[in-house]
Amino acid sequence: MSIRALIADDENLARQILREYLANQPDIEIVSECDNGFSAVKAISELKPDLVFLDVQMPKLDGFEVLELIDAKLAVVFVTAYDQYATKAFDAAAVDYLLKPFDLARFETALERVRRKLAVAPVPLAPAELRNAALPPGRHAERVVIRDGARVHILPVAQIDYVEAQDDYLAFHSAGKSYLKQQTISSLEESLDSKQFVRVHRSFVVNLERIRKIEAYTKDARIAVLTDGAKIPVSRGGYLKLKEAMAQT
C-alpha cells in the first residue's frame, strides 16, 4: 500500500528532518510541504493525502484549526513541542504525535502505528474536542475558525454575541452577521470562559456582555434581550447559571 503524505510545519529544519526520515520509507510518498496553516488547509483539501505530519503551533492557523477546516478522514501525526499535559490529550484521543526533538526510532514507531491504522480505516478526528483536551487548566479558546466555501473566517471570541444550535451546526452571531460551523454546542461550551459565556438554553450560548435585560416569559422560562434587540430563550436551569455568572462579574 502506497501512503501519500503531507508535511505541515513552519520550521524548515523540522520539515527537513521529516523529509530525510521519510526518504527511507519506500511505501510513503511526500505530496506536499506547507509552512503555515492556511496553505496546509488548501493543500489537504486539494491533494487529499492519506497521512499528515502536522505541527501544532504554526502561523495563521494552528494544527487544531487546520483539522477543523478540512473535511477529510486521514491519519494525523502531530509534530509538537507542546508540554506533557497536551501530549496526554493526544494519547486520550488516539492521535499519534512526535514530541520535538524526536529520533528515528520514535519516528518509525509512529509510522508503524499509522500503517496499522490505515490498514483498517482512518479514524475520524474530533478536532474541537481534541483542542479542549489540550488546553491547559484555566485557558480558554480565544477565537473560532469557520469555513465558508473557499473563505475562512477567524472570529475572535470577544466579538461573539450569541451562538445557536441548528441540527448538526452552530450559528455564530456577531455584529449582525451569522456564520455556520459543524460543531456540537457542548464542545463549544467547554472551550469558552464560563465567566463570559453562559449556556442559557439547550440550544443557546450567550455572551454576558451583550445582555441588556432579562424578561419573564412563562412561569419557568425567561427571555434575554440583547443589546442588538435579539431575544434569546432562557430555561429555568439556564437562568440559575446566568444569575450565578452575573454575581461573579
The predicted-structure confidence for 22-32, as pLDDT tens digits, reads as follows 999 999 999 99
Within this chain, do residues 88 and 35 fall inside the same structural domain, yes or no?
A: yes
Q: What is the pLDDT of residue 93?
A: 64
Within this chain, do residues 130 and 147 fall inside the same structural domain, yes or no?
A: no
Maximal C-alpha separation, the chain: 70
Q: What is the pLDDT of residue 129?
A: 78
Beta pairing partners, 162: 173, 206
pTM (2 d.p.): 0.86
Beta pairing partners, 2: none
- pLDDT, tens digit, 9 for 90 and up, residues 27-65: 999 999 999 999 999 999 999 999 999 998 899 999 989
Q: What is the pLDDT of residue 171?
A: 98
Domain count, the chain: 2
- pLDDT, tens digit, 9 for 90 and up, residues 211-242: 999 999 887 789 999 999 999 999 999 999 99
Gap between the Cα atoms of 66 and 58, Å rounded: 10
- Output the average pLDDT for the chain: 90
Beta pairing partners, 205: 163, 199
Q: Radius of gyration over alpha carbons of the chain, in Å?
A: 21
Q: SS3 of 210, please?
A: helix
Within this chain, do residues 110 and 193 fall inside the same structural domain, yes or no?
A: no
Q: How many C-alpha atoms does 16 have within 13 Å on its Cβ side?
A: 3
pLDDT average, residue stretch 104-109: 95
63: nearest Cα among 13, 127, 15, 116: 127
Within this chain, do residues 100 and 180 fall inside the same structural domain, yes or no?
A: no
| Cell numbers standing for residue 214 | 432579562
Within this chain, do residues 150 and 104 fall inside the same structural domain, yes or no?
A: no
Higher pLDDT, 155 or 129: 155
Q: Are strands 231-234 and 222-226 parallel, antiparallel or unpaired?
A: antiparallel
Domain boundary among 134, 166, 184: 134
Residue 115, domain extent? 3-134
Within this chain, do residues 128 and 66 fall inside the same structural domain, yes or no?
A: yes
Q: SS3 of 131, please?
A: helix
CATH number for the domain including 206? Answer: 2.40.50.1020
Within this chain, do residues 154 and 116 fall inside the same structural domain, yes or no?
A: no
Residue 245 clears pLDDT 80, i.e. is over it: yes
Q: What is the pLDDT of residue 121?
A: 73
Give residue 11's pLDDT band: very low, low, confident or very high (50, 70, 90): very high
Domain boundary among 103, 134, 165: 134
Gap between the Cα atoms of 1 and 209, Å rounded: 54
Within this chain, do residues 98 and 162 fall inside the same structural domain, yes or no?
A: no
Give residue 180's pLDDT band: very low, low, confident or very high (50, 70, 90): very high
Within this chain, do residues 150 and 76 fall inside the same structural domain, yes or no?
A: no
Gap between the Cα atoms of 200 and 234, Å rounded: 5
- pLDDT, tens digit, 9 for 90 and up, residues 64-102: 899 999 977 888 999 988 776 677 767 766 678 898 999
Q: What is the pLDDT of residue 134?
A: 79
Which helix or strand (DSSP H or E) is residue 116 part of? helix 104-120
> What is the share, in percent, of the chain residues with pLDDT greater than 90?
69
Within this chain, do residues 147 and 130 fall inside the same structural domain, yes or no?
A: no
Q: Which residue has the cell 459543524?
A: 182
Which amino acid makes up residue 43?
A
In contact, 172 and 179? CB cutoff 8 Å: yes
| Cell numbers standing for residue 153 | 473566517
| Other CB atoms within 10 Å distance of the CB of residue 15 | 20
Domain boundary among 88, 115, 134: 134
Q: What is the pLDDT of residue 221?
A: 85
Gap between the Cα atoms of 84 and 86, Å rounded: 5
Within this chain, do residues 162 and 60 fall inside the same structural domain, yes or no?
A: no
Within this chain, do residues 151 and 195 fall inside the same structural domain, yes or no?
A: yes
Beta pairing partners, 82: none
